[in-house]
Structure 1
Amino acid sequence: MAFFVSPNCQAASFAFNILGWMFSMTCMGLAEWRVWYMESSSAPSRGLACIGMWKVCTYQSANLHSRKIECHRYSYSDTDLPLDIRIAQNLLLAASLLGLLGKALTVTGLLRVYAGQLQKNTTSNLFCASGVLSIIAGAFILTAVTWNYHSVMNEEGIRFPPSFHIPFRPDRQEMGSAVPMAVLAAFLMLLSGLLTISFQLPPNIRVYPEVSQV
């Protein structure tokens, strides 16, 4: 219990939050959420495609290190995108904003703890709100990952514009390297939120009572 009373608990939680937020921002921009293998397709569709939440990249050979790469970015006006990708876009954006807001609340609470100018209810509420935001952000990331996993396992297709030279459904598909990073980001955000909520003010620290203005 001593660790959860110590302000060091919040420092560790803040570090987890930063790492989780950085991983979530990184995986959001990657294209390797789904990997499509188009082995029986004719040129120029033959090869490999990496499908992300904001872009799709095609390779003319089944090699991620091939120099013949072409990427196409999505926009909100792309009505051909499946529902799971459009929802995942919003979930990941919301997770990044909630994580950022959670960090701001944690910093404010930590400044009060280390400065010794505490108002017990206000400081506790700051940490509690930060923890809740981090947990929600982690849940959003996990939802996007789960939906992406479901689409890959069901071998769902995507109707890309003809100019992309990508068939509706590949010969086979699998999870990409961005998924483990997203799972790690969600785990760190959830851990950060749980540690933040579990924080208690040390009993020997000086607390300044709130004074209501008349």
Structure 2
Amino acid sequence: MPSIASLPSAKAELPPQAHDGSFPVRLLCRVSCVQLAAFLLAVLGCLMSICSTSANLDWRVWQVDKIMGSNQQGIVGTGIWGACSIRRVTLKKTNMICIPFNDEESLPDEIIVAQDLMPMASVATAVTVLWMAFALCNIFEPGKDENFIDTFFSTGARIELAAGTCVLISISWNLHSVLTNEGIPLPEVLGVPPIPTEQRAGMAIYVGFLAAASQLLSGTPVLGEKYFWKRSEINTSKPKFVNDPESVTDTENPKRSMKYRQYFSSVTLECEEEKPTIWQRCQSHIKTETMPGSLAIWLTNGTSPVTGFF
């Protein structure tokens, strides 16, 4: 009579949808919707963070009464890397002068902090996107379990939270300076006063707020799903039917095992004495095995035995 150790063990396999069907279907079998949404938000936050850090968008837009050399009103666009003054020469012609910031000692603290935090946040977000993309590309490789993608996404979520915090600090500080109409000592070449007549937030601040929101929303749900929302699997200490007999431990009551052992012994004697033909037919499909403190019965149905422990 074969022992339990000699039975072929059926390893846990993925559902058929993980191997068949289109790519989105196979991906959703391995990745949760929260993780996919986090990846898309990370990509969006990376693009907007880079756009806000670039020198092409203005953080502050000034309205000045006059520019040196002209009594006309002008507009000054100020970023974190430089400033540009625009004045109208004629009805169809405007003159624009752009000067980069070289002397950091004359710049306010919010500009200096933004020059450090914004590039660092952009690089960190780009690394996070590549990190998550690597996990998604290798998830179908053999031997990758559920913890593989969870580890990559949880690490990327922490980086996203740090990057979003850096962007939010830079944007909020500069927005406060805009609302209080604080000035910047701009280079004299621009010919504008240090404090404008009117000041409003530029496009870079709005884009930066969207970038910070995307980065924070990308990291928070992933960590929340891992530590708070994900329900732990219910593990039963006494499984009634299993596919892998090797994974079952002896946890049953010895008295109950003895009771079932005596019952099946009587059934065996009855079948052998009264119904030999039926028992021979049953014997080809039913086999019993006893262990200390437990009783194992399995049905030999083809190559996949179904085992029950009592």
Alignment TM class, shorter chain as reference? 0.7 to 0.9
The alignment status of 1:27 with 2:52, answered yes or no, reads yes
Length-normalised TM-score, structure 1 = 0.80
Q: How many residues are matched?
A: 197
Task: Indicate the percent of aligned positions where both proteins have the same amino acid.
Answer: 26
CA-to-aligned-CA distance 1:26-52 (integer Å, 9 cap, x gap): 121234211111025553484110111
Structure-2 change in CA distance of 1:117 and 1:110 (3 Å): farther
2-structure distance, mates of 1:107, 1:100: 11
One-letter amino acid matched to 1:21: C
- Larger relative CO (CA 8 A, sep 6+): 1 or 2? 1
Length-normalised TM-score, structure 2 = 0.57
- Give SS of 1:169's match: coil
One-letter amino acid matched to 2:85: T
RMSD: 2.8
Cα distance, 1:145 vs structure 2: 1.0
Structure-2 change in CA distance of 1:8 and 1:152 (3 Å): same
The alignment status of 1:12 with 2:43, answered yes or no, reads no
2-structure distance, mates of 1:199, 1:116: 25
In structure 2, the partner of 1:181 is 207
One-letter amino acid matched to 2:134: T
Structure 1 residue runs of 5 or longer lacking an equivalent are 204-214
2:64 to 13, 16, 38: 38
Structure 2 residue runs of 5 or longer lacking an equivalent are 1-27, 234-310
The alignment status of 1:70 with 2:97, answered yes or no, reads yes
Conserved in 2, the CA contact under 8 Å of 1:7 and 1:113? no
CA-to-aligned-CA distance 1:83-139 (integer Å, 9 cap, x gap): 110101111011101101211221232234333532555543321110011111111
- Which protein is bigger by CA-based radius of gyration? 2
Structure-2 change in CA distance of 1:50 and 1:129 (3 Å): same
2:119 to 89, 93, 105: 93
The within-5 A match list for 1:187-206 is 187-198=213-224
CA-to-aligned-CA distance 1:128-163 (integer Å, 9 cap, x gap): 110011111111111111101111122111112212
